[in-house]
Amino acid sequence: MKQAHWTHVVDYVDGRDRLRAVSAAWESQVNPYGDDLREVTAAELARRIACGSASIDENAAPFTEWADRHDVTDIRRVEFAARWGSVAVTLDPLLTVSVAGRPMTVLLHTGKRELSDRAAAAVLGLVRQVPAQASTGSGAGVLDVRAGRLVTEASEEEIDAAVGQARGFESAWRRLDALWTRLNLNTYLPAGTDMAAWQLSQVPLESVRDVLDVGCGPGRHTAPLAERGVRVTGLDPSLGAVRRAAQLSRRGGFLVGDLANLPIRSDSNDLVIAMHMLYNLPDLDQALREVRRVLRPAGVFAAATSSEHHLREVDELFDATVRSLSGDWVYDDARGRRLLRFSAENGAALLHRHFENVERGDIELPLRITEGEAALRYLDSMREWREANLPRGVTWSGVMEQARRRVRNSVAESGFFAATLRESVFLCR
């Protein structure tokens, strides 16, 4: 089960850069591969992981003062993780105490920012999950140590409203986790493969002075471009992603913005790159008009995407598994087709609407997935849109169980589950 600290949930409920709140929690617990953390110092990583987990000792004085004023006795520290969908939310520091003779389980908020009523209600709902055997009674509370405020009551409506809003935390986590699962399959490519480096190798960088990286994400391409000495600007709609990219590359400039309405002056860039992001846009033509506007007359636009046959072997595994459970069946992957609205196969026609010269470079590489669970996690990451189209009587758990047998047999026979990466880069002038 994935884990997060309760302070990340508080940040999400209070609307404090929600993507960053989710990604900070996710990164510290779910990212064992360090792909996006290569340039982050050990001290900075330790700070991120420890975010929000201040110890009781660091706040001993204000807590002792509050305890003395309120007849707090029988203090004992306990450990517990509440459930928030598929995320286990760590409640720490968590105490069982007696307040004026009343046994309670109390979570300490030790941060400098005062808890809002909405956040306190959400956390109170989490503390109420602590089982009786782990606590001293049914009383639950959240103590804002520095403010000296103990919250023990909230209406069911308040808790339901806060919890309902915070469910988005778990939903966003699942989407981020699914994305990482897909990206992580690249670790099974041939040794030394660097997809970002290959994509940039397709782009002519001679005489390039100014580059705009739209949808820059955490800076996979922005950082190496800056190291080459060009003036590069990374742009992304997510503040959290821009902050991450700025940490990886001190040389580039970064902006929060939308490709459909670029905050960039016209005729200002020799190169614009959009790596694996055009299929996310609701209005591709408007975005491409903006690209043309900010490009200099001889400028180049580079866009990376996947083939409709990318990792087809996983699709074939899914199809064969469902057919084995239901007989004749044709899968209607409407969501998948929408995700591929800009692909290697249809990209040239879409780009020709705005660029006279469009070229495509392709790469096809084998993946030897030696850990069958990695392939299964990839398949499971598609559950959100594939489950709804399963035939009557077929459950997702049944599909995954059958698929697991097939993948395990493949690994047992050949040592790996075989798949193929198929991606392309378009160059437009």
pLDDT range class, residue 98, cuts 50, 70, 90: confident
Q: Given a cut of 70, is residue 99 above it in pLDDT? A: yes
Least confident piece of the model among 169-183, 199-213, 276-290, 410-424: 169-183
| Global model pTM greater than 0.85 | no
Q: How far is CA 347 from the centre of its chain?
A: 26
| Residue 370 CA, distance from chain mean position | 24
- Spatial neighbors of 287 by CB under 8 A, at least 6 apart, are 259, 260, 278, 281
Angle at 131 between CA 129 and CA 132, to 5 degrees: 130
Distances (CA, A) of 98 to 32, 92, 104, 152, 222: 40, 18, 6, 13, 55
Question: Residue 415 pLDDT more than 60?
Answer: yes
Domains of the chain: 2-177 (no CATH), 192-303 (3.40.50.150), 307-429 (no CATH)
Is the pLDDT at 71 greater than 90? The verdict is no
User: Cα-flanking dihedrals φ and ψ of residue 178, to 5°?
Assistant: -65, -40
DSSP class of residue 187 equals G
Rounded distance between C-alpha atoms, residue 377 and residue 380, angstroms:
5
